[in-house]
């Protein structure tokens, strides 16, 4: 997820549209970017995906689940996992 903001900061692109405001705020704080929001888009639901299992109940105990490594999206993913049980 860092490439669009890095490219924008370097002036390689004029705009990007892929992140929600909490993610952008965190990126500005941690990376020192000099970019600002100029408009807003929708925030799409985050989901669970598997090539092996058709539903959450099919996941074996001790299954390894990948999560986003940024604070704002990690929180969203943990919320989904909590909701799904």
Cα–Cα distances (Å) from 22 to 8, 27, 70, in that order, read 18, 9, 10
Same domain flag for 2 and 39: yes
* Residues 3 and 39 both lie in one domain: yes
Task: Count up the domains in the chain and report the number.
Answer: 2
Domain residues for the domain of 39 are 1-43
64, 69, 73, 78: CA torsion to nearest 10: 30
pLDDT at 44: 77
Asked if 67 and 49 sit in the same domain, the reply is: yes
Considering the domain architecture, whether residues 31 and 18 belong to the same structural domain is answered as: yes
Determine contact, residues 19/1, Cβ cutoff 8 Å. yes
Q: Would you place residue 34 in the very low, low, confident or very high pLDDT band (cuts 50, 70, 90)? A: very high
The 10s digit of each residue's pLDDT in 49-82 is 999 999 888 999 999 999 988 888 898 899 888 9
| Same domain, yes or no: 13 and 37 | yes
């Amino acid at each position: 997820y860092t490439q669009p903001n890095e490219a924008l900061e370097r002036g390689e692109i004029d705009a990007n549209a892929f992140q929600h405001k909490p993610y952008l705020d965190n990126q500005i704080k941690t990376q020192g970017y000099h970019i600002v929001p100029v408009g807003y888009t929708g925030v799409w639901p985050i989901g669970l995906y598997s090539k092996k299992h058709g539903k959450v109940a099919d996941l074996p105990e001790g299954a390894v689940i990948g999560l986003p490594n940024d604070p704002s999206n990690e929180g969203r993913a943990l919320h989904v996992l909590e909701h799904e049980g």
